[in-house]
Structure 1
Amino acid sequence: MNRHSLSLRRAGWLSAAGIVVLTAFPALAKPLCNPLTLNTCGLPFPSDYWVETEPNSPTGARIDISDEILRPEVLAQLPVENGISVEQIFNDASGFSAASAVVFEFDNPPDTATLPKHGGSAVLAFDLTADAPVDIRTQINEYARGRRVSSPSQVLEIFPMGRWSFGHTIAVVVTKSLHIEGEQDDFESFHSNASDPDQQTYITALSQAIQRMGLTPDQVRTATLFTVRDRNEVLNPIRDLVTRTFDAEHPVRNIEVHYKSFFSRKAALITGELLTHNYRRENGIGLVDFEGDYQEQWIPFRLTLPKAARNSGAVPIAFYAHGLGANKESDLLMGDLNAGLGIATFSVDFPNHGARAEADGGGVFENLIIDKVTREIGMMTQNNIDFAAAHKALIGMSDLDVVGRWRWGSCWQCADGIADLDTRRVFMQGTSLGGVLGSAYAALSPDLDGAVFQVSGVGVTSILAGSLLWDLRFSRLEPPAADGAEALLLKGAIQQLLDYGDPINYIDLMRFPDDGRPIRPLYVMTGSGDSIVPNDSSIALARIAGLPLVGEALYEMPGVEQQETVDELGFGISQLPPLMADLEFLIGPLLTDASGHMSFLWTSSAQQNKAWIREFILQQ
């Protein structure tokens, strides 16, 4: 058994009134790894082995972990100077991400026939704070044991079906119902090998948790115990920046008007630039600095006016969020649909996309190396700020008047004294990544009427764990020296940083708003078998946001109520077949599943969009 050492202050564990709690221990002269470590010092992950008590923490806990849990050759490849290291990411946090994957490592391959997707008796999760089991899903990570890592590892990942409860303590246990090839250390052997007082105390706490779950230690292969960070630790910093940005003025410039044919359902395309506030470090291309000042940045926008703006003026507006690697110009399809409903379409490029990619340090697919990982993370967080700036700039165009009703002797390409936009009526639309980033802003925005998204989900690293995009593209963000287990540990660290821009942490604010904000309806369309944004992430979205499944079920959604229509408040999620479902015999299951991500091209998708918008946005 390979045991690494590291410099840490230790946390001990006691049980009081049946609840596992923390008690501080002094620093040890000879540091140790997680006492259940096999080959990788940082696994199992996450773990309160690296937590100490903190009276001023909302969870009573504070992470204190060392970079030395990584091998020196892996640490040397991280852009530590830009904020990417275990210590910088985790230390002083009140706990681990609510979207964290629990990661266990084994010496030998697990028998997947004994691993039910939802854990069964092989993997169990228990919320010690709520005294209740937690619904989970499991997978053996194929990337970790493949050829893209420096050395393969046998790694089991466990995700919550929604998210881990904020501020709670969670126990996750792998039992001997999961069969492992050959000899394998079990929980009792870890217990007997623990010679250090901190190791013994932590394992004793694990033993207590195991017994609370109705198990005995001799039934267990391995386990972990961890605290979930406080929600406000994530929500307050990003919402403060969104609100601060929205409250500021964001002028527009370089406006151009491109008129459409009189017979088109679109009256005009307006282009220009708007002012946003860039809070990213590294001269505006890195991680968002929540304590720092901003740089001014001008970004392009486009606004499509429908024919209705000529005829009746003051039309509502759809704020459209495009997909990964696309740009604001990809709003054409939705812009046409919206124009038919008498709705304007407004769009901007995400950071590192479209016309702004160069200014943001390169396009999203150009930055897929570990040295540039902060650009990818910063993109996700900064986008909320940019959307707030764009939304406020849109409101500032409330007096826009560039088209008018045609009459004999009048000019339909001229102002008529009637505003073309009703900037009090703005709702969010988005596709794919646009649904992820769009739902983040929809939940945080001070002033939106609702949101409708296509092929979307929540939990960024959870999405990537099951997406073709990980193997094809995003796995390049891992340091080349990392083995399979270390790569997944680092992915967990990245999720901790992604939390601020990940709607998994606050999408429920649409249905359950705080701060006196109104309920905002939410409708999501998903593609069955989608291998880009996997269905599991859409299930998590539905469970967290309280979306009932509307219409036919093409794939299972455990924990989601099914009904014929959206509820009276406008909440719902639907399922569409893969675009090429009828061609599976010809193209095979891989391409068929990938076409699930194109399901929004079905006519039924447009019909659902229109019906929902008419009822809950236009209130017709």
Structure 2
Amino acid sequence: MRQRMLHGLLAAALGAAALLAPPAHAAPAAPSPARGCDPLAPEECLLPFPNDWYTRPDPRTDTSRRVAFDTAVLPRPVTGLPVDPTAWNRSDGFSPGSTLIAQVPGLDTETTGAAPLTDIGRSLDRDAPVVLLDTTTGTRWPYWAEPDSNATDPARRALLIHPARNFLDGHHYAVALRGLKDGAGRLLPVPGAFASVAGKRLPAHHPLRARQDALAPALRALRGAGVSGEGLQLAWDFTVASTRSLTGDLFTIRDDAFRRLGDRSPGFAVTGVTDFTEAQDARIGREVTGRITVPGYLSLPGGPPGSVLNRDGSGVPRRLPLSTQTAGFRCEIPRSAFRTPSRPSLYGHGLLGSRNEVGAGNVKDMAAEHGFTFCATDWIGMAKDDIPVVVAALADPSLFPAVPERSEQGMLNALFLGRALIHPRGLSADPAFRTADGRPLLDVRHGLAYDGNSQGGILGGALVAASPDIRRGVLGVTAMNYGLLLNRSADFAPFQQVLDVAYPDKLRQQLVLQLFQMVWDRGETNAYANHLTDRHQVLMHIAYGDHQVANAAADVEARTIGARLVSPALAPGRSPDTVPYWGIPRIDADRLPHRGSAMTVWDSGTPTPPLTNTPPTGPAYGHDPHEDPRNSPAARQQKATFLTTGRVINVCGTTPCTATPTS
């Protein structure tokens, strides 16, 4: 969505946001003992992050740990309101896409030799100054490190360490910082607390003894991997949430809803049918609107904005008694379907938009050119009506769980719409989806497809992973995760103003974004990426230099899901990277077609995006190519062939794929 649209919506939302009340939370599964700030970094609570210091043993979870944030350790906004930790403390570990955050005053990452975005391979060098170690497998993990370029106070500048591929669900990681230098090349001092913890065994009564005991296994693992204590300036460890913890909420409501549905079609009501003459619309013959009935799992009847999941005493999502959702839908049936039945596909709309995006010109072109009927429902939780909640959550993190949890109900709504599209007694049996003489306009024999753009790609991977009906999906101008994306997106600028007021300190902003991600995982692709392609195939379409969805985050997704890069991806010299698209396996154009998941990069000639955690804004970054791939006939041909056959075909010959800039 364009920034000017967002500014207008925000103006109306800001006043409404102040009226929102925090949602009611269920009690944690068990009381969390209070634990103060990590003594390794007492200057700023939660640092370093993520950090097992803020977990406790729990034999009932898959990781045998549970996040145990106390209200006192969570950063409060300027209002002074305490942050309710309940939603976070349901997790048995941290986000698989967590950005690691540390505060190292005086650090110069370039002089230190920390691996930058342009040379990720350097992160695995034997003498790399930052080491990420998967202690579960004993292997080193790739990353890039950068200072927070948004910081206004050098003494409060965060060191950000981004995994180049998502951490593995349920695994344990140790982090080591060593040989850190200032801009003059001088070694930085070892913090006193860490020197004591990493040194000789402390007496039992020493105030740092508990921290020493907790860190000892991680230090042993690092030594075993060749990272000695000599020169070590900081180390800590963390556990990644298990698959069940990450996906359990969505899969629980999905399984319960489809169990209740059985072999029936979801209930629906058609509310509008509009037939177009060819003069009115040469591509679309009929538009159908209506409502799907879905079991409601949100805390308020009807699930309005601000609702969270209804949970039982153990925190498990449960259907709100007697509650149903009615999800509006809109379908665009191509004119060709009146000759040959069309293939049904769900469409996922963009940032804080609505189902009406299915009527966009590029979607109509795809429908007409390739015989698809696209249907969409509002992605509630991240739809236009949710803007006041999103704004309010930036100012009060206690409100934030309503964003991903309502999104999960939105995903269920889309899954039910998809089932109705392919069920023989579903939409295809209704006169609205038949010709005047009763012939079907939908061919339900070939299953269901998914095509989403921007937010529809970022959330769409989770939908594809959760769907019992979708086999293949296209994720257009996509990436993951929001905790990585927001600093790098031009779309976030108006929302950044709200965050700046609530959390003026940039170091705390970084912590807040990563806290958001821990609960956002459950409602976007990040939590599902490690297993997305176990049973599904996805095609990622990326716009090089995208102003709204950062290419760096798309590359993380491709590495995580095992997508192959259609090559050549860029013209020689176009990428600033030492090894362009490091860690993403290639498939040469002359080896296509390829069966499996893949990523195609579309280049409109836009300048390379910033190499820092800042958005590509201003004249220097030229045209925003965000909408160019979907408006390319060649890109639509590749999408359609993939969705119908599972083959990634060559549509660009032996040269990189290019897209014509759109206005």
TM range (shorter): 0.7 to 0.9
Corresponding letter in the other structure for 1:170: Y
Partner Cα distance (2:94, 2:317) in 1:
21
Give the letter aligned to residue 327 of structure 2.
I
Are residues 179 and 204 of structure 1, via their aligned partners in 2, closer, same or farther at CA, if it must alter by over 3 Å? farther
Which of 268, 280, 285 pairs up with 1:252? Answer: 268
The unaligned stretches of length 5 or more in structure 1 are 1-25, 405-413, 514-519
Corresponding residue of 2:52: 48
- Structure-2 residue corresponding to 1:20: none
SS in 1 for 2:474: strand
1:221 aligns with 2:233: yes
Choose which of 488, 493, 504 in structure 1 pairs with 2:510.
488
| 235-244 or 368-377: bigger deviation | 368-377
Match of 2:546 in 1: 530
| 1:327 aligned partner | 354
Cα distance between partner residues in 1 of 2:605 and 2:402 = 33
Partner AA of 1:504 in structure 2: N
Q: 1:113 to 1:527 in 2, by over 3 A?
A: farther
How far, CA to CA, are the matches of 2:339 and 2:49 in structure 1?
60
Pair 1:567–1:509, CA change in 2 (3 A): farther
Structure 1 residues 42, 551: CA separation in 2 closer, same or farther (over 3 Å shift)? Answer: same
**Alignment partner for residue 173 of structure 2, among 170, 174, 184?**
170
Structure 2 match to 1:208: 220
Among 293, 296, 299, the residue aligned to 2:327: 299
Structure 2 residue 416 is matched with structure 1 residue 398: no
Q: 2:61 aligns with which of 31, 46, 57?
A: 57
Residue 43 of structure 2 corresponds to residue 39 of structure 1: yes
Q: Contact 2:109–2:146 at 8 Å: present in 1 too?
A: no
- C-alpha displacement at 1:155, in angstroms? 0.4
Displacement of 1:270: 0.9
Alpha carbons 1:246, 1:391 under 8 Å: kept = no
What aligned pairs does 1:138-157 form with structure 2 within 5 A after superposition? Answer: 138-143=145-150, 145-146=151-152, 153-157=156-160
Which moves more between the two structures, 68-77 or 448-457? 68-77
Task: Report what 1:576 is aligned to.
Answer: 602
1:590 maps onto 2:597 in alignment: no
User: How far did residue 321 of structure 1 move?
Assistant: 0.5
In the other structure, the counterpart of 2:200 is: none
> 1:334 and 1:607, CA in 2 relative to 1: closer, same or farther beyond 3 A?
same
How far is the alpha carbon of 1:133 from its aligned partner? 0.2
Return the letter of the residue paired with 1:325: L
Post-superposition offset of 1:492:
2.0
2-structure distance, mates of 1:442, 1:403: 24
Contact 1:245 1:277 in 2 (8 A): yes
1:312-461 aligned within 5 A: 312-313=340-341, 315-331=342-358, 332=360, 333-351=362-380, 357-358=384-385, 362=388, 368-370=394-396, 372-394=399-421, 395=423, 396-402=426-432, 414-424=435-445, 425-461=447-483
Superposition deviation, residue 444 in structure 1: 0.8
Match of 1:67 among 42, 65, 71: 71
Check 1:387–1:258 CA distance in 2 against 1; reply closer, same or farther (3 A cut).
same
Query: Shift of the alpha carbon at 1:123?
Result: 1.5
What is the SS of the residue equivalent to 1:449? strand
The SS at the match of 1:91 is helix
Maintained 8 Å contact 1:206/1:224: yes
Change (3 A) 1:597 1:102: farther
Moved more, 446-455 or 213-222: 213-222
**1:473 counterpart SS class:** helix
Change (3 A) 1:335 1:502: same
The equivalent of 2:582 in structure 1 is: 558
Q: What whole-Å deviation, never above 9, does each CA across 1:37-69 have from its counterpart, x for those lacking one?
A: 052021001111233333333222233332222
**TM-score of the pair, normalised by structure 2:** 0.76
DSSP-derived class of the 2:444 partner: strand
Change (3 A) 1:522 1:32: closer
1:420 counterpart letter in structure 2: L
Aligned length: 560
Distance in 1, matches of 2:492 and 2:648, equals: 39
CA distance in structure 1 between the aligned counterparts of 2:407 and 2:508, rounded to whole angstroms: 23
Instruction: Describe the SS at the equivalent of 2:513.
Output: helix
Change (3 A) 1:178 1:472: farther
Which amino acid in structure 1 is aligned with residue 169 of structure 2? F
SS at match of 1:261: coil
SS of 1:305's partner is strand
Structure 2 equivalent of residue 409 of structure 1: none
CA distance in 2, matches of 1:512, 1:420: 32
3-state SS, counterpart of residue 130 of structure 1: coil
Asked whether the 8 Å contact 1:579–1:601 carries over to 2, the reply is no
* 8 Å Cα contact 1:370-1:479 kept in structure 2: no
Note the C-alpha offset of 1:337.
1.5
CA distance change for structure 1 residues 304 and 65 in 2, over 3 Å: closer, same or farther?
Answer: closer
Q: Provide closer, same or farther for how the CA distance between residues 536 and 337 of structure 1 changes in structure 2, counting only shifts above 3 A.
A: same
In structure 2, distance between residues paired with 1:32 and 1:618 = 52
Distance across 2 between alignment mates of 1:403 and 1:321: 21
Cα distance in 2, alignment partners of residues 134 and 259 from structure 1: 56
Per-residue Cα deviation, 1:541-583 (whole angstroms, up to 9, x for no partner): 212222100132234222111112556434211111146469x
Once residues 479 and 581 of structure 1 are traced to their aligned partners in structure 2, the CA distance between those partners, rounded to angstroms, is 32
- Amino acid corresponding to residue 328 of structure 1 in structure 2: R
Question: Which residue identity is paired with 2:165?
Answer: G
Per the alignment, do residues 152 and 192 of structure 1 end up closer, same or farther by CA in structure 2, a change over 3 Å counting?
closer
Q: Is the 8 A contact 1:456 1:526 kept in 2?
A: yes
Is the Cα contact below 8 Å between 1:174 and 1:221 reproduced in 2?
Answer: yes
Per mean C-alpha deviation after superposition, the further-off stretch among 500-509 and 283-292 is 283-292
Where 1:211 maps in the other structure, the secondary structure is helix
552-561 vs 474-483, which moves further: 474-483
Change (3 A) 1:286 1:335: same
8 Å contact 2:598–2:648 — kept in the other structure? no
AA in 1 matched with 2:548: I
Deviations 1:277-309 (A, max 9, x none): 443336632333342333323232111112232
Equivalent residue for 1:116?
115
Separation of aligned partners in 1, 2:494 and 2:210: 42
Residues 192 and 478 of structure 1: CA distance in aligned 2, closer, same or farther (over 3 Å)? same
Cα distance 1:258–1:400, how it changes in 2: closer, same or farther (>3 A)? same
Alignment CA distance shift 1:67-1:51 (3 Å): same
Distance 1:573 1:188, change over 3 A: same
Tell whether the 8 Å contact from 1:459 to 1:504 is kept in structure 2 after alignment. Answer: yes
Q: CA deviation at 1:472?
A: 4.0
Per-residue Cα deviation, 1:480-529 (whole angstroms, up to 9, x for no partner): 2563232222222211111211212223544313xxxxxx3311110112
Distance, in Å, in 2 between the alignment partners of 1:352 and 1:233 is: 20
Unaligned residue ranges in structure 2 (runs of 5+): 1-31, 198-205, 311-315, 611-616, 650-663
Question: Closer, same or farther in 2 for the Cα pair 1:75/1:279, shift >3 Å?
Answer: farther
| 1:128-143 mapped onto 2 (5 Å cutoff) | 128-143=135-150
Moved more, 281-290 or 377-386: 281-290
User: Matches of 1:389 and 1:617 in 2, distance apart?
Assistant: 27
